[in-house]
Structure 1
Amino acid sequence: MIRNVFIVLIICCLGPVSGSPPPTYDSIFSFGDSLADTGNLLLSGALTFPFIAKLPYGQTFFHYPTGRCSDGRLVVDFIAEAYGLPYLPPYLAVAKGEKFEHGVNFAVAGATALDAKFFYDRKIGSQLLLTNGSLSVQLAWFSNLKSTLICPTKQDCARRFQKSLFLVGEIGGNDYNYPFFGGGTIQQLKALVPLVVETIANATSGNLPIGCNAVYLTLFRTPNKAAYDRNGCLKAYNGFSKYHNSMLKLALENLRHKYPHANIIYADYYAAAKRFFHAPHHYGFTNGALVACCGGGGPYNFNNSAICGSPGSKSCLDPATYANWDGIHLTEAAYRYIAMGLLNGSFTEPPLTFPHIKPF
């Protein structure tokens, strides 16, 4: 029997959990978007977003651009560290011959849960799509890798996956980002939520509080003070994120009934991130959580004509004092807080506890 197979952030594992010793894993397989991509978009050419191919991306930890959409490590990197595993190579590097003894990352920056064709057919945000590497494409990559390199027989698969961790998420956010940035309204996009949730219910985590993101705060800025919460975030867009997450949690409950032998754990990215938007100085973000570290000016240091890494943009001196990296993505410091909150069980339902996480 495969005892510990995780599908997620949602996290899903087979076998007993209550009273069991904390699990250990020999490998991790990751799916998702820019919150998890360790280099697939960069290796694909990154022609639609070339700035991740150069500094200041990667400056804090790796000291060179790795294809990660941050100044350093991501949530998936901190999870790998927690289990004593190396950082995951991107699938496109593995496809070119790189070894992957301890797992592979299939995530692609800009990826959607729904297939790209969905957006092209309906002409909703399709002009902004960065990649066609949707969740189904990533799953096809995994299927190909599994059949050719990991486990040519069922017995091989059972042995390999018995101690493998599967992380899927965050994904689904871009299914809303592209249409929102293309002029879609909250009411119009609410109609998309059931489709997105149906696609990803068995394979993803919840969405971040997008109303606190510098790109949303810039694009949908309003003089109406009532549109903002006490933290300066846009209430309507955070409400949309919460709506998606509530729908996803309901879908996961249905999965629990359908697969009673699986332990399905929901990872609450929204709550894990909202705490440092609520009290940034408590987490060392002395420059706040709303203004981007790297950008081209403006109230939130986000400017579409001078995004991070492009001419006219500048990077802050100390990214650790910022929660927001480039207006869209978070800093390594912020991702670390999210990862630790998930690993110690504070923001997972039911709790996922890991005994070796050191407090900050």
Structure 2
Amino acid sequence: MIISCLGTVSATPPLKYYDSIFSFGDSLADTGNFLLSGALAFPVIGELPYGETYFHRATGRCSNGRLVVDFIAEAYGLPYLPPYLALAKGNEKFEQGVNFAVAGATAMDAKIFYDRKIGQILWTNDSLSVQLGWFKKLKSTLCSTKEDCAKYFKKSLFLVGEIGGNDYNYPFFVGGSIKQLKALVPLVVETIVAATSMLIEEGAVELIVAGNLPIGCNAVYLTLFRTPNISAYDQNGCLKAYNAFSKYHNSQLKLALETLRQKYPHANIIYADYYGAAKRFFHAPKHYGFSEGTLVACCGGGGPYNFNNSARCGHTGSRACLDPSTHANWDGVHLTEVAYRHIAMGLVKGPFTSPPLTFPPINDF
């Protein structure tokens, strides 16, 4: 309450919140688009044990349960975001938000990867520009005039990413070196920033742009790039060079977002520090309830980190652990619901968003 010489001027303002959420990204955010796209005839994410913990069925999420985007929706009292491709079925409502993210998606267009002779391993061609095209197509059904759109999007939260991780995963997994991939970072960052700029031009004013996770702590990287050289690992057992690469990408993204803030001073462009939010539980797993640690996958086909490329989670020869809440890593590539919850809490409640979100959450999760 504010007091002046004239008496009471104003009381605490009423609680404000987001009315809708629009999400873009890859498998860290996909709530069903990849499954609906038919990119693979029988994708394992369409079967249990995927989804077993919360939904008790496979939903197309690359985890045992909810993702960061699901927890953010819960925090603001919004329904889980329907995948954009469910629009064709006509049984979803999109007024409170839509998810455009697709598992396997890259920030850069697929053509770049085909030109570099690694396009044949892409899961999907639904890159960030394709997802933006979907948004533009849908926009006309959400608001009719520029004024209507400005009013509608003023209380919408836009989640840009995590995206970009696959731009590095694909080349890393076919033998690309860190030096070669570093040269790609400016192009990936430029693509993410251009997408963010386009969304602002379309009316977005509150945007979260996510950095990359510490990939050197991921079971797939720990398996593929395992080395007897002890000095290659940090105190938590993560590969130092690959974590340094993630930090390099994130530092370049933060610099680019600072330039974007100067161009669009009216927009709240928020950097989400996925790296910092996740590094906490890699550093102190038992503090966060991960009694089985954070480096070994819950669901897999064996090996030091329970990641076996010939028996990945959901495939013959793999099995899921009895209690996924004791693990941070779900299938060697993606995290468990509990790990995503810790990341989401670090974003919504702080301190891993910079600047903070405009509106406080209205629910705990």
TM norm structure 1:
0.91
Decide whether the 8 Å contact of 1:48 with 1:130 is kept in 2.
no
SS of alignment partner, residue 165 of structure 1: strand
Question: Does residue 250 of the first structure (1) align with residue 255 of the second (2)?
Answer: yes
CA 25–351 in structure 1, closer or farther in 2 if over 3 Å, else same: closer
SS of alignment partner, residue 239 of structure 1: helix
CA 48–248 in structure 1, closer or farther in 2 if over 3 Å, else same: farther
Work out which of the residue numbers 31, 42, 55 in structure 1 matches 2:35.
Answer: 42
Question: Does residue 221 of the first structure (1) align with residue 221 of the second (2)?
Answer: no
Counterpart in the other structure of 1:61: 54
Question: Does residue 294 of the first structure (1) align with residue 299 of the second (2)?
Answer: yes
Work out which of the residue numbers 99, 108, 111 in structure 2 matches 1:117.
Answer: 111
Work out which of the residue numbers 169, 178, 183 in structure 2 matches 1:186.
Answer: 178
Q: CA deviation at 1:205?
A: 1.1
Paired amino acid for 1:67: G
Distance (Å, rounded) in 2 between the aligned partners of 1:172 and 1:273: 17
Paired amino acid for 1:173: G
Decide whether the 8 Å contact of 2:313 with 2:319 is kept in 1.
yes
Distance (Å, rounded) in 1 between the aligned partners of 2:271 and 2:215: 19
Decide whether the 8 Å contact of 1:25 with 1:163 is kept in 2.
yes
Q: CA deviation at 1:242?
A: 0.2
State the Cα deviation string for residues 103-125 of structure 1 (Å, max 9, x = none).
Answer: 110000000000000000111x3
Work out which of the residue numbers 323, 328, 338 in structure 1 matches 2:333.
Answer: 328
Counterpart in the other structure of 1:6: none
Question: Does residue 138 of the first structure (1) align with residue 146 of the second (2)?
Answer: no
Question: Does residue 101 of the first structure (1) align with residue 101 of the second (2)?
Answer: no
Distance (Å, rounded) in 2 between the aligned partners of 1:177 and 1:345: 28
Distance (Å, rounded) in 1 between the aligned partners of 2:351 and 2:169: 27
Question: Does residue 207 of the first structure (1) align with residue 205 of the second (2)?
Answer: no
Listed as ranges, the matches of 1:57-96 within 5 Å are 57-96=50-89
CA 64–152 in structure 1, closer or farther in 2 if over 3 Å, else same: same
Paired amino acid for 2:297: A
Paired amino acid for 1:34: S
SS of alignment partner, residue 171 of structure 1: coil
Q: Which moved more, 1:72-81 or 1:43-52?
A: 43-52
Q: CA deviation at 1:351?
A: 2.7
Decide whether the 8 Å contact of 1:49 with 1:130 is kept in 2.
no
Decide whether the 8 Å contact of 1:22 with 1:355 is kept in 2.
no
SS of alignment partner, residue 243 of structure 1: helix
Decide whether the 8 Å contact of 2:74 with 2:363 is kept in 1.
no
Decide whether the 8 Å contact of 1:345 with 1:354 is kept in 2.
no
Question: Does residue 283 of the first structure (1) align with residue 288 of the second (2)?
Answer: yes
Q: CA deviation at 1:20?
A: 8.1
Distance (Å, rounded) in 2 between the aligned partners of 1:81 and 1:298: 36
SS of alignment partner, residue 237 of structure 2: coil
Q: CA deviation at 1:156?
A: 2.8
Counterpart in the other structure of 2:206: none
Q: Structure 1: state its 5+ residue gaps.
A: 1-18
Percent identity reads 78
Paired amino acid for 1:239: A
Q: Which moved more, 1:309-318 or 1:348-357?
A: 348-357
Counterpart in the other structure of 1:238: 243
Q: Which moved more, 1:278-287 or 1:193-202?
A: 193-202
State the Cα deviation string for residues 45-91 of structure 1 (Å, max 9, x = none).
Answer: 14177100100000000000000000000000000000000000000
State the Cα deviation string for residues 161-199 of structure 1 (Å, max 9, x = none).
Answer: 232111111000000000000110000000000000111
Distance (Å, rounded) in 2 between the aligned partners of 1:21 and 1:40: 36
Q: Structure 2: state its 5+ residue gaps.
A: 1-11, 197-208
Work out which of the residue numbers 141, 155, 158 in structure 1 matches 2:150.
Answer: 158
Distance (Å, rounded) in 2 between the aligned partners of 1:22 and 1:239: 40
The higher relative CO (CA closer than 8 Å, separation ≥ 6) is in 1
Paired amino acid for 2:158: F
Decide whether the 8 Å contact of 2:17 with 2:360 is kept in 1.
no
Decide whether the 8 Å contact of 2:76 with 2:363 is kept in 1.
no
Distance (Å, rounded) in 2 between the aligned partners of 1:187 and 1:20: 52
Decide whether the 8 Å contact of 2:20 with 2:97 is kept in 1.
yes
CA 196–294 in structure 1, closer or farther in 2 if over 3 Å, else same: same
State the Cα deviation string for residues 311-348 of structure 1 (Å, max 9, x = none).
Answer: 11000000011000000000000000000000012101
Distance (Å, rounded) in 1 between the aligned partners of 2:145 and 2:347: 34
SS of alignment partner, residue 266 of structure 1: strand
Counterpart in the other structure of 1:4: none
Decide whether the 8 Å contact of 1:114 with 1:135 is kept in 2.
yes
CA 27–241 in structure 1, closer or farther in 2 if over 3 Å, else same: same
Q: Which moved more, 1:303-312 or 1:256-265?
A: 256-265
CA 260–192 in structure 1, closer or farther in 2 if over 3 Å, else same: same
Paired amino acid for 1:87: Y
